[in-house]
Amino acid sequence: MDQLVTLLGYEFVQNAIAAGFVIAIVSGVVSGFVVARNMSFAVHALAELGFTGSAGFLLLHLSPVLGLLFGSAITAVFIGTLGVRARGRDVVVGVVMAFGLGLGVLFITLYKGYANQAFAILFGTITGVSRGDVLLLLAIGAVTLIALAAIYRPLVFATVDPEVAEARGVPVGALAVGFLLIMAAAVAEAIQVVGVLLILTLLITPGAAAERLTPRPGLAIAYSVSIALLCTLGGILLALITNAPVSVFVTSLSFACYLLARFAIGPRRPELRPVAARAS
Amino acid sequence: MKAPPAIRFERVTLSYGARTVWSDLSLDVAAGTFVAILGPNGSGKTSLLRAILGLVQPSAGRIDVLGRAPHRGDPGIGYVPQHSSFDPELPFRGRDLVRLGIDGHRWGVAWADPAANASVDRALAEVEAVAYADAPIGRLSGGEQQRLRIAQALVGNPRILLCDEPLANLDLRYQQAITDLIAGWRDRTGGTVLFVTHDVNPVLRVVDEVLFVVNGRWAAGAPDEVLRSERMSELYGSHVDVVRVHGRILVVGESTESGFNIEEPHHAPAVVVDHPEQP
How many angstroms separate the CA atoms of A120 and A243, rounded?
A: 15
Task: Please list every residue in chain A whose beta carbon sits closer than 8 Å to the beta carbon of residue B81.
Answer: 163-164, 167
| A110 burial via Cβ count (<10 Å: 0-12, 13-18, 19+) | exposed
Q: Express each pLDDT in B148-160 by its tens digit.
A: 999 999 999 999 9
Q: Where are the domains of chain A?
A: 2-199
B91 touches chain A (CB under 8 A): yes
**What pLDDT is stored for residue B247 in this prediction?**
80
Is the Cβ pair A32, B91 closer than 8 Å?
yes
For B262, phi then psi, to 5°, come to: -105, 115
Q: Which residue of A has its CA nearest to B71?
A: A169
**What pLDDT is stored for residue B261 in this prediction?**
57
Written as tens digits, the pLDDT of chain B (279 aa) is 567 899 999 999 999 888 899 999 999 999 999 999 998 888 899 999 999 999 999 999 999 999 999 999 999 999 999 888 899 999 999 999 999 999 999 999 988 899 999 999 999 999 999 999 999 999 999 999 999 999 999 999 999 999 999 998 888 888 999 999 999 999 999 999 999 998 899 999 999 999 999 888 999 999 999 999 999 888 888 888 888 888 888 888 776 665 555 655 444 433 334 444 443
How many angstroms separate the CA atoms of A233 and A235, rounded?
A: 5
Confidence label for A207 from pLDDT (cuts 50, 70 and 90): very high
Is the Cβ pair A217, B135 closer than 8 Å?
no
Confidence label for A73 from pLDDT (cuts 50, 70 and 90): very high
Q: What is the mean pLDDT of residues A125-143?
A: 88
**From A156, A166, A215, residue closest to B136, measured CB to CB:** A215
Check residues B12 and A90 and name the one with the higher pLDDT: B12
Q: Express each pLDDT in B23-66 by its tens digit.
A: 999 999 999 999 999 988 888 999 999 999 999 999 999 999 99
**What pLDDT is stored for residue B122 in this prediction?**
96
Is the Cβ pair A164, B132 closer than 8 Å?
no
Q: What percent of chain A has pLDDT over 70?
A: 94
Q: What is the mean pLDDT of residues A56-77?
A: 90
H/E run at residue A177: helix A172-194
**What pLDDT is stored for residue B18 in this prediction?**
86
How many angstroms separate the CA atoms of B181 and A3, rounded?
A: 68
**What pLDDT is stored for residue B267 in this prediction?**
45
B72 touches chain A (CB under 8 A): yes
**What pLDDT is stored for residue A127 in this prediction?**
77
Secondary structure of residue A50 in the 3-state scheme: helix
Q: Which of B96, B111, B179 has the highest number of chain A CBs within 10 A, making it the mutation to test binding with A?
A: B96
How many angstroms separate the CA atoms of A19 and B31, rounded?
A: 60
Is the Cβ pair A211, B89 closer than 8 Å?
yes
- DSSP per position, B203-253: GTTT-SEEEEEETTEEEEE-HHHHSSHHHHHHHHTS-EEEEEETTEEEEEE
Secondary structure of residue B76 in the 3-state scheme: coil
Task: Please list every residue in chain A whose beta carbon sits closer than 8 Å to the beta carbon of residue B143.
Answer: 280
State the count of interchain CB pairs (< 8 A) between A and B.
126
Q: Which residue of B has its CA nearest to A169?
A: B73
Average pLDDT, chain A: 89
**What pLDDT is stored for residue B272 in this prediction?**
38
Task: Please list every residue in chain A whose beta carbon sits closer than 8 Å to the beta carbon of residue B104.
Answer: 153-154, 156-157, 161, 165, 168, 170
- Whole-model pTM: value is 0.91
**What pLDDT is stored for residue A79 in this prediction?**
86
How many angstroms separate the CA atoms of A90 and A200, rounded?
A: 16
Query: Which B residues in the span 138-157 are in contact with A, Cβ-Cβ below 8 Å?
Result: 139-141, 143-144, 149, 152-153
Q: What is the mean pLDDT of residues A36-40?
A: 92
Question: Amino acid identity of B5?
Answer: P
Q: Which residue of A has its CA nearest to B144?
A: A280
Question: Quick check: A87 pLDDT over 80?
Answer: no
In order of A55, A135, A166, B15, the CA distances from B47 in angstroms are 49, 51, 14, 10
Whether A81 and A177 have beta carbons less than 8 Å apart is answered as yes
Question: Closest Cα to residue A144, out of A79, A195, A97, A189?
Answer: A189
**A2-199 domain in CATH 1.10.3470.10?**
yes
**What pLDDT is stored for residue B274 in this prediction?**
43
Closest chain A C-alpha to B242 CA, distance in angstroms: 34
Q: Where are the domains of chain B?
A: 90-153
B131 touches chain A (CB under 8 A): yes
Question: Amino acid identity of A1?
Answer: M
Question: Quick check: A174 pLDDT over 60?
Answer: yes
Question: Quick check: A5 pLDDT over 50?
Answer: yes
Q: Which of B71, B107, B124, B181 has the highest number of chain A CBs within 10 A, making it the mutation to test binding with A?
A: B107
Task: Please list every residue in chain B whose beta carbon sits closer than 8 Å to the beta carbon of residue A267.
Answer: none
Whether B143 and B89 have beta carbons less than 8 Å apart is answered as no
